Chains A and B, each alone.
Chain A
Amino acid sequence: MGRFVVRRVLQAIPVLIGVTFLIYCLVFLLPGDPIRALMGEKQDPHLALVLRARYHLDDPLVVQYWHYISGVFQGDLGTTYTGRSISDIVAQRFPVTLKLALTAFAFEAVIGILAGILSALKRGKFADNVVFVATLFLISIPVFVLGNVLQLELGVKWKLTPVAGIEDGWPTSYVLPGLVLAAMSMAYIARLTRTSMIESVRSDYVRTAIAKGLPRRRVIGIHALRNSLIPVVTFLGMDLGSLMGGAIITERVFNLPGIGGQLAQSVSLREGPVVVGLVTLLILIYLVANLVVDVLYAVLDPRIRYE
């Protein structure tokens, strides 16, 4: 098990370096001079020089990247051109996005899995059809439409939920944005759980469990469910990363001061270091989530553990 984890960690490192380098290139190939963007047309030539030197702007890209990545490995995400520590920005913004993503994650896991199980057990019946139609809608209605409409209907018109912002704290301010962010994944989880549950209900080992005279609760709850959750857990883990990405839209709709909003703002302001820092963080979370999934996978499926 230990070796398994170490191997996965080692495999993740080149991906992390590759992604950050890719983003670094993308960001610093952005058209426009960041110093000019910062100081406007009336730039002080001396200050500009100092800044260029501090941010290694005149070095080749690879050298710049080297300075950057070695900082990251020492826990230093760098500073903005205006001198603010990016770590501070992260400390301020990140909890919002994390709370949002985890809320959404809880929604999609709980509702999605339950709906999927219900759908599988009532296959072809009314409940199955209801879940099916609901998943179709959740998948096809874009998040920003769903978010806007729910925000205005529930928040503005009916005053059931906060309209925007995070003044009411967790959970109140995060329930609706979390649900909206979770919507599409929830539908996929429900479908995946259903398919995988149907497959395992049909399997030989479930037939054996029935032949053993086990009560239905036990047949479904232990023998079928545990196997059918393996692919679901994989999806959930992979999805944590895309939830952080999807948060861009949700944060914008609900005006939440999270990473997504900051990212969009920094991209348009050409704040390269911020963009790279934030994206690196998101990728890091994605990779860690994948790592956790791999380990969890091995816990759930002994066939992988002993390979």
Chain B
Amino acid sequence: MSEQIIERPVPADGPTAKAPEPDGKPERVASLWRDGWRDLRKRPMFLISGFVILCLLVLAIAPGLFTARSPFSDGFCDLQHSMDGPTSGHLFGYDVQGCDIYTRTVWGTRNSIIVGVVSTILTTALGGVIGMLAGLWGGWADSVISRVSEIFYALPILIGGLLIMSMVGSSNVWTVSFVLSILGWPQVYRIMRGEVIGNKYNDYVAAARALGASPMRIAFRHILPNTLAPIVVVSTMNLGVYIAAEASLSYLGIGVQSPAISWGLMISDAQDRWLTSPHALLFPAGALSLTVLAFIMLGDVVRDAFDPKLR
């Protein structure tokens, strides 16, 4: 009986009642991003970490702008200066081979950033696509994929890295990124799959399906936009994690190999001489920590801004 359908004059929520949002979904998603971005810009942590990351990117792309010397040129290292402390012109001092630490630290940025960015892109793409498919397909395909992901998930990154890196043989930034992605995708996969399954049964998806939207259209227009926020958050946080992982692998001697420059490798070379010449460890370790810190901070603020559950 239609008269029983009650339209009460009581909308709105809480003390700061806003106009109720129209139920259309794209607007809702768009406003999430817009709100998130507006929120981000106001946070000092975002500005600080953003600035540091911008500097790091410039360092990675054009190290030559910051140092006249090239670490790969002849006569760059001079054993006579081995472990000499900072002097003017060589602000960070020399390492055990007598190489200028400042130049090597600057040039080392590139490898760290490459590993961080490439691994993040690969894990996000791999985990995202597989998670999307598993979530959409469901059933036995989902079960199989999920079990496979658990297998990779169960393998600690250092142990898996140790195994795969020794199998691959040649170690450089690309193989390291590849290994980290192989081991890292299940994390993104889990989130993506969860989000897709969570959104799959939403009313607006049901509505779109009832209106005859194709599965592709449903996936891309209706489900994907809603899953992006948590994926972006986790990927941002992973940037720092992968940079640290590269340094760890290099430190263990199974990551980037000399003569390529890696902060992890530099730290490994300098570690025994901390008490006599702390500078050799301090500067690459500082650069590494600062980089990881910047990405972790960015991940933090991005999460606070885009994860409405934590607001």
Contacts and interface: CB of A to CB of B under 8 A. Distances in A.
Asked if the two chains touch in their complex, CB atoms less than 8 Å apart, one says yes
Interface of A: 14-15, 18-19, 22-23, 26-27, 29-31, 136-137, 139-145, 148-149, 152-153, 156-157, 195, 241-242, 244-246, 248-249, 252-253, 263-264, 267-268, 275, 279, 282-283, 286-287
Interface stretch (B73-81, B149-157, B221-229): B149-157
A192 to B, nearest CB: 12
Contacts of A252: 252
Contacts of A29: 167
Contact of B156 (A157, A241, A264): A241
A112 to B, nearest CB: 17
Interface residues of B, number: 39
A153 to B, nearest CB: 8
Given A18-B148, A249-B252, A242 B166 contact: no
B155 A144 contact: no
Contacts of B268: 144
Nearest to A144: B251
Leading 4 A-B pairs by shortest Cβ distance: A245-B156, A140-B293, A18-B151, A140-B292
Nearest to A16: B154
A210 B232 CA distance: 38
A22 B155 contact: yes
| Among A19, A27, A153, A253, residue most surrounded by chain B Cβ atoms (within 10 Å) | A19
A182 B110 CA distance: 29
Given A149-B281, A241-B156, A144 B150 contact: no
19 contacts: A18-B150, A19-B154, A22-B152, A27-B167, A30-B166, A31-B169, A136-B296, A140-B293, A142-B248, A142-B267, A144-B268, A145-B267, A242-B157, A248-B158, A248-B159, A249-B248, A249-B252, A279-B163, A287-B154
B297 interface: yes
Contacts of B121: none
B164 interface: yes
Contact of B155 (A14, A19, A142, A253): A19
B163 A27 contact: yes
Interface string B225-243: 0000000000000001000
Interface in B259-311: 264, 267-268, 271, 274-275, 281, 285, 288-290, 292-293, 296-297, 310
A142 B244 contact: yes
A278 to B, nearest CB: 9
B156 A242 contact: yes
Nearest to B153: A15
A248 B244 CA distance: 15
Interface in B125-158: 147-148, 150-152, 154-158
Contacts of A22: 151-152, 155
Given A29-B167, A245-B156, A149 B274 contact: yes
B162 A248 contact: yes
A26 B271 CA distance: 31
B274 A148 contact: yes
B169 A263 contact: no
Contacts, number: 121
A245 B153 CA distance: 13
Given A15-B151, A18-B148, A19-B154, A279 B159 contact: yes
B42 to A, nearest CB: 17
A262 to B, nearest CB: 12
Interface of B: 147-148, 150-152, 154-159, 162-164, 166-167, 169, 240, 244, 247-248, 251-252, 264, 267-268, 271, 274-275, 281, 285, 288-290, 292-293, 296-297, 310
A181 B252 CA distance: 15
A152 B264 CA distance: 18
SS of B interface (majority): helix
Contact of B163 (A31, A153, A267): A267
Contacts of B158: 245-246, 248-249
A283 B289 contact: no
Contacts of B157: 242, 245
A242 B183 CA distance: 13
Given A15-B150, A136-B293, A282-B159, A157 B275 contact: yes
Contact of A275 (B148, B163, B264, B275): B163
B170 to A, nearest CB: 10
Given A26-B163, A283-B155, A141 B274 contact: no
Nearest to A253: B271
A148 B310 CA distance: 36
A264 B162 contact: yes
A207 to B, nearest CB: 15
B288 A145 contact: yes
A282 B156 CA distance: 9
A136 B154 CA distance: 26
A156 B310 CA distance: 45
B267 A144 contact: yes
Nearest to B275: A152
Question: Which of B147, B154, B275, B293 has the largest number of chain A CB atoms within 10 A?
Answer: B154
A200 B161 CA distance: 38
Nearest to A30: B167
A152 B274 CA distance: 7
Name, among A140, A143, A248, the residue most crowded by chain B CB atoms within 10 Å (CB to CB): A140
A143 B248 contact: yes
A88 B157 CA distance: 26
Given A30-B167, A136-B297, A144-B271, A263 B156 contact: no
